[in-house]
Amino acid sequence: MTDSVKLTGVTKRFGDVLAVDDLHLNVADGEFFSLLGPSGCGKTTTLRMIAGFEFPTSGSLTIRGQEMALNPPNERPVNTVFQSYALFPHMTIEENVGFGLRMKKVAPADIAQRVKRTLDMVQLSHRASASPSQLSGGQQQRVALARALVNEPQVLLLDEPLGALDLKLRQAMQLELKDLQQRVGITFIYVTHDQDEALTMSDRIGVMSDGKLLQVGGPQDIYEHPRSRFVADFIGEINLMPAVAVDRDSVKLLDGQVLMAPHDAPAGRSVTVAIRPERFTLFRPDAEIPSGRSSIAGKVIRRIYHGDVFLYDVDTAEGLLEVKEENRPNVEVFEIDSQVVVSWSPSAATVIED
């Protein structure tokens, strides 16, 4: 697959501050790629370097095989959608979308055709004559997308564009954005600190921290097979238990219990056993637990009802474990102070070298 955007050894310094550190990244043509990380991790700086608003201190940045590291924004085949839509309040939606084409002196007939096609794409043709103030937040966001897409960029850059929307609208727009990207077929590079956004929309995700790209992979791979404590802890809820590698199939917890857990760490290496809350199952102490499963005894100290799930905090010899169980008729509900056994399959555990 052709690389749409490629960063090789890209570093960005602001004085003594190292914002992006020796970043290597390939984004495929037509891919929805998300850069995910906390504030200050370097993801927005990386996006701004791709856009041309910042230049790398060192390294190579190519778009469709052409070196672009020092090219200004107007000489790059990209467009950017920001969190602030910045629509012109005195213009209609149609005029807002066509503004960039008018600045490029595109023929009026071509502008009208391209604006109509793009508004059809974002399902806003019926509001072409409206002003921005007459639209909802989600509709304004779609206008901002249309204004970028009408220029027919090879790459669309999105800097937390859903951050200003309320939760329900944000969730709806995630699905709309993914559907739109698949219809348009161009490369989307999306910056967010919201894990749900990244997991919902992305073909692949790159997790960043302190200017470094820690892990790149598909949503399921990132979620189920984190390669570091940071990635494990940042993506969703997770339980982390310190341990020591015994052999390639087992680890020893702090209380001396040996668990089956395949891994690649050498014997004696300090490791962390990472398990998602939904991979645990609660049993009563006298229940018959299926063979081959690992388990730890504990006591329920908190239960939270979330409608579709129950969340439990269970106090164990390994510390507090969070358990998530679906609210189904055949699943037992445990009261606070109940003695329980937390059980899981060895395949549910990811072993991370410390």
Task: Show me where the domains of the chain are located.
Answer: 3-229, 237-353
Q: How far apart are CA 300 and CA 316, in angstroms?
A: 9
pLDDT on residue 1: 60
pLDDT on residue 85: 76
Residue for token pair 């006298």:
286
Q: How far apart are CA 253 and CA 260, in angstroms?
A: 11
DSSP state of 332: P
Q: Is residue 118 a contact partner of residue 112, using CB atoms and an 8 Å limit?
A: no
pLDDT on residue 330: 86
Please, which residues have CB within 8 angstroms of residue 20's CB and are 6 or more apart in sequence?
Answer: 10, 11, 12, 42, 45, 46, 49, 56, 211
Residue 29 DSSP SS3:
coil
Residue type, 226: P
DSSP state of 162: T
Q: How many CB atoms lie within 10 A of CB 322?
A: 19
Q: Is 80 exceeded by the pLDDT of residue 169?
A: no
pLDDT band at 161 (very low <50, low <70, confident <90, very high): confident
Tokens standing for residue 192: 């967010």
pLDDT band at 12 (very low <50, low <70, confident <90, very high): very high
Closest C-alpha among 175, 189, 184, 173 to residue 150: 184
Task: At 60, give phi and psi (nearest 5°).
Answer: -115, 140
How far, in Å, are 97, 211, 297, 310 from residue 157 at the CA level? 17, 19, 49, 38
pLDDT band at 30 (very low <50, low <70, confident <90, very high): very high
Q: Provide the total of helices (H) and of strands (E) in the chain, helices listed first.
A: 8, 20
Burial class (CB in 10 A: 0-12, 13-18, 19+), 337: exposed
Query: Where would I find the beta strands (DSSP E) of 160-307?
Result: 187-192, 204-209, 212-217, 239-247, 250-253, 258-260, 270-275, 281-283, 294-305
pLDDT band at 174 (very low <50, low <70, confident <90, very high): confident
How far, in Å, are 239, 243, 244, 264, 321 from residue 268 at the CA level? 22, 9, 6, 12, 24
One fold for 3-229 and 237-353: no
Q: How far apart are CA 272 and CA 206, in angstroms?
A: 22
Q: Note every long-range contact of 47-50, with CB atoms under 8 Å and residues 24 or more positions apart, other chains counting.
A: 47/80, 47/157, 47/159, 47/189, 47/191, 49/7, 49/10, 49/12, 49/20, 50/5, 50/7, 50/78, 50/155, 50/157, 50/189
pTM of the predicted structure, to 2 decimals:
0.88
Q: Which CATH architecture has domain 237-353?
A: Beta Barrel (2.40)
Q: Which of 171-185, 195-209, 293-307, 338-352 has the lowest mean pLDDT?
A: 171-185
Q: How far apart are CA 138 and CA 152, in angstroms?
A: 22
pLDDT on residue 171: 84
* pLDDT per position as a tens digit, 285-337: 999 999 989 999 999 999 999 999 999 999 999 999 999 999 998 889 999 99
* pLDDT per position as a tens digit, 199-240: 999 999 999 999 999 999 999 999 999 999 999 999 989 999
Q: Which CATH architecture has domain 3-229?
A: 3-Layer(aba) Sandwich (3.40)
Residue type, 132: P
